[in-house]
Amino acid sequence: MAQFSSRSIETLIDLVEIKLSCLDVMDREDREEQKALQRSLDELKEYRRTELPTGRRTANGRPVPQTPARA
């Protein structure tokens, strides 16, 4: 499997969440698209949980930004 940076995974999660929020389910095809997007979102979150280094995270699961150490 390809390796993705934390930033790339967060960007993909954001994009899938945006697409899901904009999707108007009108027919079976739309419902299938919604299911596929939800599966993708679940997979991305699982990848983030298992493959990326653990660190502090905000309530929505995003990493807490690191502040540079003071000299």
The residues spanned by each domain of the chain are 24-51
B/e letters for 22-42, b = 16+ CB within 10 Å, e = fewer, are eeeeeeeeeeeeeeebeebbe
List Cβ<8 Å contacts ≥24 apart for 52-59: 52/6, 52/9, 53/6
Q: What is the pLDDT of residues 12-32, one digit of tens each?
A: 999 999 999 999 999 999 999
What does the alpha-carbon distance between residue 4 and residue 52 come to, in Å, rounded to a whole number?
Answer: 9
Confidence at residue 59, expressed as pLDDT on a 0 to 100 scale = 57
Confidence of residue 39 (pLDDT cuts 50, 70, 90): very high
User: Quick one: which of 39, 42, 37 has its CA closest to 25?
Assistant: 37
